[in-house]
A and B are shown apart, each in its own frame.
Chain A
């Protein structure tokens, strides 16, 4: 393999980042080529986050949609001698609700992330797989096991299950549930639920993301993130904020839930925020059957899965 095009790679370390364009399992592969002279390879992969769920609008008062689950996270370190010159990378896309929303639709799952020796297209072949990180579903991405990626056993590996998004607010003006900052080793998080809708004059608040315990707020950790505000009278609810990546990849934040609708025309529900890469989307606020306030709000998209391959 010639590497004439790697003129500008980092001295002593090749770092490549792949992000999620694979909208279906085993159909869209990207290619990684082993840089000349490398001795070690480190791979970190996260599955796509799931979208938030849709708030309902089929009764006078309705619950908000739940937040999406984050993808699972997997790390592998392996001597380069056990790795072919070319690897195939599928970085799973985050889940997205369809263009036409359906009341109370559950989360759309994120696509799993794979790193494999061959671009298999019909059947998942564990014996050809070096890394697997499952996508988020109605819960956090399922924990991978070495049985699903036995080639990693030539090296060292770690697995983390994804974080489940929080529930939507109860019908009326219930607030979406607050998400606890993950403390399992994950670098991604779930989304929060939308507020409940159809309350008398006011809906529920979108769910918040709590600040991590003990850490002063700084560049690495955000203060507590509040979800969308609820509708009040004819004033519509606001959307939940989208997740960001904090410095040094300390944490990819999930999307926040949208505020719930009021029972007054014009007081429509808020959308959920999109998740940062690998994180869950926020749920949308619940609505009502009241004309002018019964439009379904769009939940946030799950963040795309990603893979970082470092070789040296």
Chain B
């Protein structure tokens, strides 16, 4: 393999980033080529985040907010380059779309894979890394309660990425999305994960009335420069803040939930998640302003490959 085009590569380390256009599993592959002289390869992959769900446009003024989407799972692999072919194939899964209809569910994210062949049928034996996607809620908000949080997605494990067995690996389950708020209640706060994850879920939307969208962050957490609080939507006021990547890739934030409608205001939209994060849930709608606010979409999955 010739590497004439790597003239400007970082001295001593080759770092490549792949983000998720793959809207279907094992269908859309990108290509990585092993840099000349590689000795070790480190990969970090995150599945696409789950989309947020919409609030309920109630016949009475009691509609609940929609739940946030879950973050993708996170996997790391460190492997000697001698066990890795000269070309790898990467599917970075897309994030799930946010819901757009009353009490509608978002879409699940797509899994992220790194494989030695661009297979069209899933092949654990040919896979080095797998990071399963974040899910969306499966329980819609009702006319009085918020949507329930999505279920957790199991990790692929080394049984799903057999070639990682030549090296070292870690598998982390994604963070479950925040539930939607009940009528006149806000979406609960989504605390920063303390499992090792670098992605968060989306927070839920507020219930109709005075429900605010859920906050993402941990109050009192040291280093607000690195770990700020991300605010959800406020009825008649602030829009839900979108997810972003904090400094030094310390944390990718999910989308926050929208506010519930009320007091002459319409419910507001959930925001989109940063890469690998869940989307925010939409706020509940008032019967005087029945237009449903859309939920935020999950962030696309991604893969970093470091070669030294």
**Chain A residues near B (Cβ < 8 Å):** 11-13, 15, 42, 44, 73, 75, 77, 156, 158, 160, 181-187, 212-216, 218, 220-221, 247-251, 310, 312
Contact = CB atoms under 8 A, between A and B. Distances in A.
Contacts of B121: 213-214
B245 interface: no
A77 B125 contact: no
Contacts of B246: none
By CB atoms of chain B within 10 A, which of A11, A184, A214 has the most?
A214
Contacts of A12: 37, 39
Contacts of B159: 183-185
Interface residues of B, number: 28
B21 interface: no
B126 interface: yes
A247 B165 CA distance: 16
Contacts of B229: none
By CB atoms of chain B within 10 A, which of A182, A216, A247 has the most?
A216
B236 interface: no
A213 B124 contact: yes
Given A183-B125, A220-B85, A77 B168 contact: yes
Given A213-B123, A221-B125, A248 B83 contact: yes
Interface string B135-169: 00000000000000000000000110011111111
Contacts of B82: 15, 248-249, 310
By CB atoms of chain A within 10 A, which of B39, B159, B166 has the most?
B166
13 contacts: A13-B39, A156-B168, A183-B125, A184-B158, A186-B165, A214-B122, A216-B119, A221-B126, A248-B84, A248-B85, A249-B83, A250-B116, A251-B125
Given A75-B168, A213-B121, A185 B126 contact: no
A214 B124 CA distance: 8
Contacts of A187: 165-166
Contact of A220 (B78, B116, B122): B116
Given A11-B37, A183-B125, A158 B165 contact: yes
Interface of B is mostly: mixed
A292 B84 CA distance: 50
Nearest to B167: A75
Contacts of A42: 80
B34 to A, nearest CB: 10
Contact of A183 (B78, B162, B167): B162
A249 B123 contact: no
Contacts of A183: 124-125, 159, 162
B60 interface: no
Interface of B: 37, 39-40, 78, 80, 82-85, 116-117, 119, 121-126, 158-159, 162-169
B130 to A, nearest CB: 12
Given A183-B159, A185-B165, A187-B166, A214 B39 contact: no
B284 to A, nearest CB: 44
Nearest to A310: B80
Contacts of A214: 119, 121-126
A160 B166 CA distance: 10
A180 to B, nearest CB: 10
By CB atoms of chain A within 10 A, which of B37, B39, B40 has the most?
B39
Contacts of B158: 184-185
Given A185-B166, A215-B117, 15 more contacts: A12-B37, A44-B166, A75-B165, A75-B168, A185-B159, A185-B165, A213-B123, A213-B124, A213-B125, A214-B126, A215-B126, A216-B119, A218-B117, A250-B83, A250-B163
A75 B166 contact: yes
A52 to B, nearest CB: 23
A133 B84 CA distance: 23
- Interchain residue pairs A-B with the least CB separation, the first 7: A185-B165, A214-B123, A212-B125, A215-B123, A214-B121, A215-B126, A185-B158
Contacts of B168: 75, 77, 156, 158
A288 to B, nearest CB: 38
A184 B125 contact: no
B166 A181 contact: no
Contacts of B162: 182-186
Given A13-B39, A247-B85, A248-B85, A184 B126 contact: no
A216 to B, nearest CB: 6
A158 B249 CA distance: 28
Contact of A215 (B80, B119, B167): B119
A181 B125 contact: yes
A48 B245 CA distance: 48
A202 to B, nearest CB: 33
Contacts of B125: 181-183, 212-215, 221, 251
